[in-house]
Amino acid sequence: MSSLTQRALQLILGLLICLCLAFTAGFGAYRLWDELAQVNRQKPLGVFWEAWDRVEQYFYGELPSPRERTYGAIRETLALLNDPYTVFIEPQSRELEQDRMRGSFGGIGVTLWRDAEGQMVLSPYPDSPAERAGVREGDILLAVDAEPITDETTVDDVCARLHGKVGTPIT
């Protein structure tokens, strides 16, 4: 092998080694930077988690579900922004809204709300499947598909159970 070819191979090999070292160093620095960013991001939440733990440990009474507490914390945090266009839409609600926008949902034709006693109240739309099935204004919903409505059941939960592909039976 000529000395020129040998020097070219050494140069190429040296460049490849430098390239591999630079890639490895860059990848390692990225991972370290990402870990530091996570730690710095979580520091302010330390007080939040400490308060959360204390409430769970010492609160006298029944706590809302973890999901309700989490969604409530998100809603209140976004409310601090004082921007009416920045809102948290729960995943189930978001899915229902997307179905409505696509026009690919069906329901029984009722408005739902909780009354002062916490009962799920129905109000059927005129000439809706619910009205044709005998649902009357003010009827109380006790269960959907044999699954009871509890105090923890949200209106969005019930709406999700009552919406589906057109023609799907609901009992």
The residue type found at 169 is P
Q: Where in the chain are the domains?
A: 18-61, 95-162
Q: Which segment of 3-12, 55-64, 103-112 scores lowest on mean pLDDT?
A: 103-112
Cα distance between residue 52 and residue 74, in whole Å: 14
pTM: 0.41
Contact (CB, 8 A) for 105 and 96: yes
Q: 89 by DSSP, 3-state: which?
A: coil
Determine the 3-state secondary structure of 48 from DSSP: helix
The DSSP-derived string for 23-47 is: HHHHHHHHHHHHHHHHHHHHTTHHH
The span from the CA of 147 to the CA of 169, in Å, is 15
Q: Which alpha helices (DSSP H) does 43-165 contain, by range?
A: 45-58, 66-79, 91-102, 129-132, 155-162
Per-residue pLDDT of 23-63, as tens digits, reads 887 777 777 777 766 666 667 778 888 888 898 899 998 88
Q: Which CATH superfamily is domain 95-162 in?
A: PDZ domain (2.30.42.10)
